[in-house]
């Protein structure tokens, strides 16, 4: 196993940070690595807001459901899908023509660009001894987050990312068996569902051990509860309101 | 610059592959690295189809707009957002309750899970001396691709990825200036648009040099043409038909 793979295999989300700051160079290195990720037809349809202002981090933490590590981490990155830059900077060339920034396809392209860039930044951060955690919670009150960060039309915050020096070494949660996610030449529905049963057993054993027997809910039960809970049901109308995926 | 960052900075998309095969171990290592990427609340809502069957690769190449490297690469990975596994394996726990697998939020969660996993796999592949290229073209005829790969409801192919040993060493296209994508504490609309002007100059110079003066179209003009072209306008109805983002 080479150094990079060993780094990837060693990932854990960090939710407790030391007071040590990031250097400007570390931040720029992360973003430079992000920019080298693949991007659909070179559209580079994403932006990232580096939030270091303590008051703003406090507000974001509150909007994301009181996640203290957003305040504690030295830099909070908000990764955004961004078709605004594309729309505005190409306006001179598209004048008089219909344009399709509001297509579901372009929404997807921009969201994917943001995700691939973010993951490169995460890997770069961890290679420098930093820790990260993705924060989907910024979509809880996405309109307020967008306003706070002054996001224009055609820009939306996909997820946040805390970055800083780890002040914890959490264990690694087992993942689904590889055979559950990897299919050969065609999707194997029976197999993937069958594999979840093995994973349920693994997770029950893992939870029991970690909680001294207190918790032992199978993964599929936890996931069932999750699926039955209406979560962030504002997303569709919010995104359409921002100019995305109207067609 | 450490080894991992240097690897990330050295990325280029590979569109020409040698005949050397991947080992099963290399494939499994890539998927293991993919599985260690962050996943929203541990839903792991993605699947990947490893296509090695020559006839199937041929069909996929044709459906993706005759991209020969899909045939030439030893393994073609199709990364899918997958809420089917979640839906079916939690059915016993959700019976009688409404569930929200058709929310835009869950569509986004599954798509992001697929993207983060794929990018980890890409980084792992490159660290082993392999090359990759993402293939958005599998969305050109996404219904046919889905049928060919036997994808059930609530599974859709986000993008493909050719994997193999590089038989070319393409140059690196310059990216937008970092200041175009990196904002501080709030989105800076004026700055990001201003930076595109610098990038246009960079890209004109780059294209001139690469093509011996034959090409010199500014990036924003190329992007304007792209934005004015209706592309994959079937995505919205296809995704809704597959059970995604109905609300």
Contact at CB, A85 and B196, closer than 8 angstroms: yes
Q: Residue A126: which CATH number?
A: 3.40.109.10
Contact at CB, B112 and A115, closer than 8 angstroms: yes
What pLDDT was estimated at residue A225?
A: 97
What does the alpha-carbon distance between residue B50 and residue B78 come to, in Å, rounded to a whole number? 7
Residue A223 lies in a domain: no
Chain B residue at shortest CA distance from A231: B105
- My answer on whether B63 and B23 are in the same domain is yes
User: Which residues form the domain of B185?
Assistant: 178-216
Q: Which residues of A161-199 are buried (b: 16+ CB within 10 A; e: fewer)?
A: bbbbbbeeeeeeeebbbeebbbbebebbbeebbebbeeb
Q: Is A6 on the interface with B (CB under 8 A)?
A: no
DSSP calls for chain A? --HHHHHHHT------B-SPPPPHHHHHHHHHHHHTS--GGG---EEEEEE--HHHHHHHHHHTTS-HHHHHSSEEEEEEEE-HHHHHHTHHHHTTS---TTSHHHHHHHHHHHHHHHHHHHHHHHHTT-EEEEEGGGGTTHHHHHHHTT--TTEEEEEEEEEE-BS--PPPPPPPPHHHHEEESS--HHHHHHHHHHHHHHHHHHHHHHTTTS----HHHHHHHHHTS---TTHHHHHHHTT----
Number of domains in chain B: 2
The arithmetic mean of pLDDT across residues B171-192, rounded, is: 97
Span A148-201, pLDDT tens digits: 999 999 999 999 999 999 999 999 999 999 999 999 999 999 999 999 999 999
Contact at CB, A100 and B247, closer than 8 angstroms: no
What pLDDT was estimated at residue B180?
A: 98
Q: How confident is the model at residue B192 (pLDDT cuts 50, 70, 90)?
A: very high
On chain B, the residues whose CB falls within 8 A of the CB of A103 are 230-233, 235-236
DSSP calls for A146-168? HHHTT--TTEEEEEEEEEE-BS-
The arithmetic mean of pLDDT across residues B119-131, rounded, is: 98
Residue A94 lies in a domain: yes
Chain A residue at shortest CA distance from B52: A185
Chain A residue at shortest CA distance from B30: A5
What does the alpha-carbon distance between residue A171 and residue A49 come to, in Å, rounded to a whole number? 30
Q: How confident is the model at residue B60 (pLDDT cuts 50, 70, 90)?
A: very high
- My answer on whether A102 and A191 are in the same domain is no
Residue B18 lies in a domain: yes
Residue A97 lies in a domain: yes
Residue B198 lies in a domain: yes
With a pLDDT cut of 70, the percent of chain A lying above it is: 100
Residue B91 lies in a domain: yes
- My answer on whether B82 and B197 are in the same domain is no
- My answer on whether A131 and A155 are in the same domain is yes
Cβ distance A67 to A94 under 8 Å? Answer: no
Q: Chain A, 61-80: which have a CB under 8 Å from a chain B CB?
A: 80
Report the residue from B90, B111, B150 with minimal CB separation from A220.
B90
CA distances (Å), A47 to each of A118, A121, B68, in order? Answer: 10, 13, 33
- My answer on whether A143 and A183 are in the same domain is no
What pLDDT was estimated at residue B170?
A: 95
- My answer on whether B164 and B184 are in the same domain is no
- Of the residues B13, B105, B107, B150, the best mutation for testing chain A's interface (the one with the most A CB atoms within 10 Å of its CB) is B105
Report the residue from B36, B193, B225 with minimal CB separation from A88.
B193
- My answer on whether A165 and A182 are in the same domain is no
On chain B, the residues whose CB falls within 8 A of the CB of A104 are 235-236, 239
Q: Is A31 on the interface with B (CB under 8 A)?
A: yes
Contact at CB, B183 and A47, closer than 8 angstroms: yes
Q: How do beta strands A46-51 and A75-82 pair?
A: antiparallel
Average pLDDT of the residues of chain A: 97
Residue B247 lies in a domain: no
- Of the candidates A80, A175, A163, the residue with the CA atom closest to the CA atom of residue B35: A175
What does the alpha-carbon distance between residue A219 and residue A225 come to, in Å, rounded to a whole number? 10
- My answer on whether B13 and B101 are in the same domain is yes
- My answer on whether B54 and B150 are in the same domain is yes
Residue B25 lies in a domain: yes
The arithmetic mean of pLDDT across residues B133-150, rounded, is: 98
Q: How many CA atoms lie within 13 Å of A105's alpha carbon, on the beta-carbon side? A: 23
The arithmetic mean of pLDDT across residues A7-35, rounded, is: 98
Strands in A75-82's sheet, in edge-to-edge order, are: A131-135, A155-164, A75-82, A46-51, B182-184
On chain A, the residues whose CB falls within 8 A of the CB of B172 are 36
Contact at CB, B233 and A41, closer than 8 angstroms: no
- My answer on whether A158 and A194 are in the same domain is no
- My answer on whether B136 and B92 are in the same domain is yes
Provide the strand spans (E) within B26-185.
46-51, 75-82, 131-135, 155-164, 182-184
- My answer on whether B36 and B108 are in the same domain is yes
The arithmetic mean of pLDDT across residues B123-132, rounded, is: 98
R_g of chain A, CA atoms, integer Å: 20
Angle at the Cα of A232 from the Cα atoms of A227 and A238, rounded to 5 degrees: 140
Distance to chain A for B1, nearest Cα, Å: 9
Q: Other CB atoms closer than 10 Å to residue B172's CB: what's the count?
A: 12
Distance to chain B for A239, nearest Cα, Å: 9
């Amino acid at each position: 196993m080479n150094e990079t793979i060993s780094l990837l295999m060693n990932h854990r989300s960090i939710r407790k940070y030391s007071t040590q700051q990031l250097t400007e160079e570390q931040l720029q290195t992360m973003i430079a690595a992000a920019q080298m990720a693949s991007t659909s037809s070179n559209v580079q349809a994403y932006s990232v807001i580096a939030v270091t202002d303590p008051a703003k981090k406090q507000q974001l933490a509150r909007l994301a459901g009181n996640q203290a590590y957003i305040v504690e981490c030295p830099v909070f990155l908000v990764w955004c899908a961004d078709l605004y830059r594309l729309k505005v900077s190409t306006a001179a060339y598209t004048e008089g023509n219909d344009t399709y920034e509001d297509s579901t396809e372009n929404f997807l392209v921009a969201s994917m660009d943001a995700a691939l860039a973010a993951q490169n930044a995460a890997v770069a951060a961890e290679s420098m001894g930093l820790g990260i955690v993705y924060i989907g919670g910024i979509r809880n009150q996405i309109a307020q987050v967008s306003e706070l960060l002054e996001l224009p039309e055609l820009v939306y915050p996909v997820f946040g990312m805390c970055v800083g020096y780890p002040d914890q070494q959490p264990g690694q949660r087992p993942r689904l068996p590889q055979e559950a996610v990897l299919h050969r030449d065609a999707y194997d529905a029976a197999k993937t569902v069958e594999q979840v049963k093995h994973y349920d057993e693994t997770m029950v054993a893992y939870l029991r051990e970690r909680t001294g027997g207190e918790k032992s809910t199978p993964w599929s039960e936890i996931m069932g509860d999750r699926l039955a809970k209406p979560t962030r049901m504002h997303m569709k109308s919010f995104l359409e309101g921002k100019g995305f995926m109207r067609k």
